[in-house]
Amino acid sequence: MPVLYHHPMSSASRFVRLILAEYGFQVELMEERPWEKRKEFLSLNPAGTLPVYVDNSMRTLSGAGVISEFMDETHGALKRDRRLLAEDPFQRAEIRRLMEWFLHKLESDVTRPLVRERVYKLQMRPDEGGGAPDSKVLRTSRANIRQHMKYLTWLAGSRPWLAGSRISYADLAAASAVSILDYMGEIDWAEAPVAKEWYQRLKSRPSFRPLLTERVRGLTPVSHYADLDF
Chain positions contacting a second copy, by CB under 8 A = 46-47, 59, 61-63, 65-67, 69-70, 73-74, 89-90, 92-93, 96-97, 100-101, 104-105, 151
CB of 157 to a second copy, least distance (A): 15
CB of 94 to a second copy, least distance (A): 9
Q: What is the 3-state secondary structure (H, E, C) of 119-134?
A: HHHHHCCHHHCCCCCC
Given the DSSP bridges, would you call strands 3-6 and 52-54 parallel, antiparallel or unpaired?
Answer: antiparallel
CB of 178 to a second copy, least distance (A): 18
- State residue 53 phi and psi, 5-degree precision: -110, 125
3-state secondary structure of 46: coil
Tell me the one-letter amino acid at 60. Answer: T
CB of 50 to a second copy, least distance (A): 13
Nearest residue to 12 (alpha-carbon basis) of 47, 58, 55: 47
CB of 223 to a second copy, least distance (A): 33
Question: Which CB sits closer to a second copy, 24 or 90?
Answer: 90
Question: Which CB sits closer to a second copy, 77 or 228?
Answer: 77
Question: Which CB sits closer to a second copy, 62 or 179?
Answer: 62
Question: Which CB sits closer to a second copy, 144 or 225?
Answer: 144
Spell out the residues 6+ positions from residue 170 whose beta carbon is closer than 8 angstroms to its own: 94, 95, 98, 99, 102, 161, 162, 163
- State residue 46 phi and psi, 5-degree precision: -60, -20
Question: Which CB sits closer to a second copy, 67 or 195?
Answer: 67
